[in-house]
Amino acid sequence: NGLLLLRVGLPPQGINVASVVTFILAHQNADGGWSENPSLDIPPFVQIFLSNEQSVTWVTADAIELLRQVGLGDRTECQRAVVWLRAMQNEHGGWPSYAKPVGARRGTGDPDVTAQITFLMREIYGERDPAYRKGRELLEQHLSDTMQDVERGYRVRSADGQREEVEVYQLTHLLLSWVGDLPRRIDSGYNASDRRVKRMMEALIETQRDDGGWRPFWAEESSPVYTVLAVKALVLTGVLSRTDLEADVRVLAG
């Protein structure tokens, strides 16, 4: 992951990042997007949001982020990707993971993908961009829906109406897409001052497991990655003090 290499401090023009960029540029699809490696066998439940046959919106968004952060935002490949990504926005203002994925939520697209791409559009085009404004309206609804799920103690799967517990994935991914994600959404006011976000973070604390970690819905045990993501969300939203966290870590470390 080139973005991860940048987050840990490797130089944009260094050999590690440059190799990733070269690989990305060489594997752009004809439509302008990117997909997963065709040689990989994607498990059925992952196929809801990832494809190695069709361009994937959030994978393409990550590629655009990488190209822009290494100074290649003006390259034809990056510009083509942005055009494709904007064309994938639906009439509701959302983005699916890819064209007509199985299990798309209420026809509005994927909430997490929509949140990610909405703020990428703002980064590129500014506050007045129609795609950004429409996406943010939908994000507002998704946040309200999530708080409603928190209040009743479960979410209802759109595919089959089954109830599922509210867990770390649902509570964090409208705010942060992954552990190295830039906190654009949080910095834009989706923090503890927003009652929906505050309640979501309170629920996140309540879902911490006895071993100290957090478990996403597809895992049987606590996930180190999602535990880091949970703590990062709590700190960045202002629900958990960084000073208090550091003090607790020192106590636990002896």
Q: pLDDT by residue (tens digit) across 48-87? A: 889 999 999 999 999 999 999 999 999 999 999 999 999 9
The yes-or-no verdict on residue 206 having pLDDT over 80 is yes
* Whole-structure pTM value: 0.91
CB count, 10 Å around CB of 203?
20
Give 159's pLDDT tier (boundaries 50, 70, 90). Answer: confident
Full DSSP string of 95-151: --SSSS-TT-STTT--HHHHHHHHHHHHHHH-TT-HHHHHHHHHHHHHHHHHHHHHH
Per-residue pLDDT, 242: 86
Residues 232-249 have pLDDT tens digits of 999 999 999 888 787 777
Per-residue pLDDT, 107: 66
Show the tokens assigned to 29.
């699809």
- What does pLDDT average to over the chain? 92
Point out which residues pair with 155 in neighbouring strands.
Answer: 164
Residues 89-119 have pLDDT tens digits of 999 999 999 986 444 444 678 999 999 999 9
Per-residue pLDDT, 104: 46
Q: Stretch 35-43: mean pLDDT, rounded? A: 90
Q: Which helix (H) or strand (E) holds 172?
A: helix 168-172
Residue 13 phi/psi, 5° resolution? Answer: -95, 5
